[in-house]
Amino acid sequence: MDILFDEIPSLDLADFTSGTPAQKAAFVKKLGEAYENIGFVAIKNHGLSKELQDRLYHSIKSFFALPDEIKKKYEKPEIGYQRGYTGKGKEHAKGRNTGDLKEFYHVGQELDLIPDSDSVKGEYPENLWPTEIKEFQNDAIEAYQTLENAGKAMLRAIAINLDLPEDYFEDKVAYGNSILRQIHYFPIENPDEVPADAVRAAEHGDINLITLLMGASADGLQVLRKDGKWIPITALPDQLVVNVGDMLERLTNKKLKSTIHRVVNPPRELMNTSRYSIPFFMHPRSEMDLTCLASCVDEEHPKQFADATAGEFLDERLRELGLKK
């Protein structure tokens, strides 16, 4: 039976990581219900301190305040913008040509932290660190590692919910191709000068396994409910929003829902204000097999996706988004 949530469910990750067996089981059950219906939850006790969030926001605001010609030094279209800066309007949602009203900065795995014996080390480009903002590197690496650990805990709960071994995802996300995206939805001084259909982030599903989002600096995030109604996504300051991505939906043959969401423009009188947001897109290693799990396929739920690896699927989607030629 479909459950039509008016807001996303709130869960305590500590119930899973350090709770009693009953608390752990209850967390897994509630998580499964949420992900099968709306694809989003808000969690607390995720390990990301307010102090670290504040530091990270301060450093990214300092970067985005730099002149465009300095920011463009860190723009690398030749690697599909997978590290460093992506300029204003460069990315658009799948199926659209109008660019989103945002600029962003990508941080991936630190190559120095990957063992030389691991072949994945040769797949990733090096991170780019803006020399103008000294604290940027340390803040981003600390946040990346904290969010990656929280994501691994969430994936353990998801595995149990799917009747898989609790460590099913562990080797698949070890040094995975995850991205910390630091976004600036820039001010629009004259709304009449942008395309009429331009929005901060057009409706889309995320590519990855799961996304972990720390509190944005302003309202605007909405999720499309099963009945076609858009509902606002709000989280308390101590919570992360964690949603299912397309890779996990594909793996589970749509049992878990990668729900369409968007970031709407503010009222016209507030278009000249900034909005900042920092999602962590948790990706597996490129060789992960996304073939639908046999346990999620039956006569009532026929297989809906062709077989693909995570690397193949990511490459396809980056082309659809205009980030890769």
Contact of 40 with 34, CB cutoff 8 Å? yes
Contact of 219 with 270, CB cutoff 8 Å? no
What residue type is assigned to position 292 of the chain?
Answer: C
pLDDT at 98: 73
Instruction: Report how far residue 58's alpha carbon sits from residue 136's, in angstroms, rounded to the nearest whole number.
Output: 9
Instruction: Let me know if 36 is exposed, middle or buried by CB neighbors in 10 A (0-12, 13-18, 19+).
Output: middle
End-to-end CA distance of the chain: 42
| pTM confidence score | 0.93
Q: What is the pLDDT along the chain (325 residues), one digit of tens a residue?
A: 466 667 788 999 999 999 999 999 999 999 999 999 989 999 999 999 999 999 999 999 999 999 999 999 999 999 989 999 999 878 766 777 677 889 999 999 999 999 999 999 999 999 999 999 999 999 999 999 999 999 999 999 999 999 999 999 999 999 999 999 999 988 888 887 777 777 777 788 899 999 999 876 557 888 888 888 898 887 788 899 999 999 999 999 999 999 899 888 888 888 888 989 899 999 999 999 999 999 999 999 999 999 999 999 998 888 877 776 6
Q: What is the DSSP string of 235-280?
A: --TT-EEEEE-HHHHHHTTTSS----EEEPPPPGGGTTS-EEEEEE
Instruction: Report how far residue 3's alpha carbon sits from residue 257's, in angstroms, rounded to the nearest whole number.
Output: 13
What residue type is assigned to position 192 of the chain?
Answer: D
pLDDT at 90: 81
DSSP class of residue 292? P
Phi, psi angle pair for 252, to nearest 5° = -95, 10
Instruction: Report how far residue 227's alpha carbon sits from residue 215's, in angstroms, rounded to the nearest whole number.
Output: 26
pLDDT at 216: 63
Instruction: Tell me which residue of 193, 234, 217, 212 sits closest to 101, measured CA to CA.
Output: 193
Question: Could you state, in order of their start, the residue ranges of all structural domains in the chain?
Answer: 10-320
10-320 fold? Jelly Rolls (2.60.120)
Tokens at residue 15, please? 């119930």
Torsion of CA 201, 203, 208, 211, to 10 degrees: 70
